[in-house]
Structure 1
Amino acid sequence: MTRVVLVHGIAQQLNGPETIAEAWLPCLNDGLALSGVGTLPRDDISVAFYGDLFRRPGHRGLGEPPLDASDVEPGLEHELLLSWWEAAAAADTRVPGPDATGRLRTPRVVQRALNALSHSAFFAGLAESAMIGSARQVRSYFTEPEVRRAAGERLARSVTGETVVIVAHSLGSVVAYETLCAHPQWQDLTLITLGSPLAVRGLVFDRLRPAPHGGTARWPVPLKRWINIADHGDAVALIKELAPSFGTRIQDQTVNNGAHAHDVRPYLTARETGLALAKALGRAVRS
């Protein structure tokens, strides 16, 4: 019985639905516990997994082929990296901004962005190749119709007559929004978005389907409730409030995820997420 559908974000191509479910379920239950309600059994959740759509084919050698600054494509990949850089620098004093000078300055602006992002809370510890790969997945979703279609189909197959809530992280919130808009026959669902980039103009918002009109995006017909949760330091969720772009019925909330602003785990363990999930499931919460 799938009551809760989970939609992951970027950089999950080497995982799978069971791996993600195993990682997310304890975190969800920790958030529910902070709300004073019982836990979810494994049978109550399913994962709309689409990460394999971004997995590269095999090649000679170990691991995935590395990417460097020269592999960043102009347009969306380039602009995403620069926007993440600006947001990370604004939120974290350890991250040199685009106007910073000194030893991190290089002739290539993309290389400067990658160097700076390596000091940020979200990208710390990630190789350049992984950062570029994250931007590339967003670009692939918006520019490769077969990827976009397949991701939406994965989510549509996961939603059943028993589903009451969709929990979507990062790029998964884009998949969730577009799929909900494409299925107006679904009814009475709750959407919980975590670290969502949906309202980022130019990069995400203006590329949505259906296309926004007059600066406002369409409200998905199946939704009776939409709770959006973002950390102030989340460089991927550049615009923390979705209500101005998607309608005042959205409940925008902020959380503090500590050093890992975009990591899904602290989003899931937050009491705010637990409260939203508990209410969607019709459970009484502790005041």
Structure 2
Amino acid sequence: MSKVLLVHGIAQQYRGPESLRAACAPALCDGVALAGGRLEVADVAVAFYGDLFRPAGSRGLDVPDYDVTDLADPLERDLLRTWWYEAARTERGVEDSSSGTRGRTPQWVQRALHALSGSVFFGGLAERVLIGNLKQTHAYFADAGIRKRIQRRVLAAMTAETRVIVGHSLGSVVAYEALCAMPGLGVSTFVTLGSPLGVPKLIFDRLLPRPKEGRGRWPTGIRRWTNVADDGDIVALTKALAPLFGPEVRDVLVHNGAKAHDVRPYLTAKQTGLAVLQGLVGDGP
């Protein structure tokens, strides 16, 4: 039975729980080893929900042939705008976005997609893939059915042995909401990697349970919460979660190299390994 549960982010619709675990579990074991501990691959499980976003079978493209006209929802456009601003701030080669959203909607959206598809952060992703990623995030918050099914996947993957939950990207939002919805599960440690939990209005204000007076709820039963972010991670726009969820959150910055948001360098980081190790051995408050 696993002691650590990983909850993945978007764009995993063509993988499965075991193939994802094969890629991620050894990386986390490396991170724990760098922190001076030991974690076995068998002690790591993955809560998988990527298949819920997999398109129905067809002879077409793996990702629907989205174009600029498909980004009509305000959440999708606002998230795109936020990514563009942050990419322009952190990357010299990305077109300045300071006046990019003042024109007609299709025009600035096209400029934003073009700028991001050429950024180092997004690694040359095709525009239709970028749009698909935006739509997965939107679907989680807008489609109550999808949200419930994803939550059930996470809760079903938890066992009596689970002590630590590690959530990456949107997976940190999924894991947070699951922990809040089902207290008393025996999980003592929460680790968030590249988390968008603190992004105002777009993510933070849409959480369940709803934040009150600018403060998100602390998940019942959690003794430790470590939030790990790379300064160049565009998705983790708000690097510090302590001001939003309480001073007990330990915010830590790491450097992931060229792939600032990739889950594997996050998992191999000594800081991540230490947070997981503390949850397993139970030392300290």
Q: 1:64, CA displacement in angstroms?
A: 3.1
Partners of 1:107 and 1:159 in 2: CA distance: 43
Asked if 1:115 is matched to 2:117, the reply is no
Q: Determine the structure 1 residue equivalent to 2:22.
A: 22
Taking structure 1 as the reference length, what is the TM-score of the superposition? 0.93
Q: Secondary structure at the match of 2:60?
A: coil
Q: Determine the structure 2 residue equivalent to 1:278.
A: 277
Do the aligned partners of 2:29 and 2:41 also contact (CA within 8 Å) in 1? Answer: no
Q: Determine the structure 1 residue equivalent to 2:166.
A: 167
Q: Determine the structure 2 residue equivalent to 1:247.
A: 246
Partners of 1:170 and 1:268 in 2: CA distance: 12
Partners of 2:39 and 2:282 in 1: CA distance: 11
1:172-211 alignment runs, 5 A limit: 172-211=171-210
Q: Which amino acid aligns with 1:26?
A: P
Q: Which amino acid aligns with 2:119?
A: S
Give the 4+ runs in structure 1 shifted more than 6 A.
none
Q: 1:186, CA displacement in angstroms?
A: 1.9
**Which structure 2 residue ranges, 5 or more long, are not aligned?**
none
Q: Determine the structure 2 residue equivalent to 1:65.
A: 64
Offset from partner CA, 1:115-134 (integer Å, 9 cap, x none): 11123222122111111111
**Which structure 1 residue ranges, 5 or more long, are not aligned?**
none
Partners of 1:108 and 1:282 in 2: CA distance: 54
Asked if 1:214 is matched to 2:250, the reply is no
Q: Determine the structure 2 residue equivalent to 1:31.
A: 31
Aligned residues: 280
Q: Determine the structure 1 residue equivalent to 2:6.
A: 6
Offset from partner CA, 1:80-106 (integer Å, 9 cap, x none): 1110111111111111121378xxxx9
Partners of 1:24 and 1:171 in 2: CA distance: 16
Asked if 1:54 is matched to 2:68, the reply is no
What RMSD, in angstroms, separates the aligned Cα atoms of the two structures?
1.8
Do the aligned partners of 1:195 and 1:230 also contact (CA within 8 Å) in 2? Answer: yes
Q: Which amino acid aligns with 1:205?
A: F
Q: Determine the structure 1 residue equivalent to 2:135.
A: 136
Partners of 2:212 and 2:139 in 1: CA distance: 24
Q: Secondary structure at the match of 1:5?
A: strand
Q: Secondary structure at the match of 1:223?
A: coil
Taking structure 2 as the reference length, what is the TM-score of the superposition? 0.94
Q: 1:9, CA displacement in angstroms?
A: 0.3
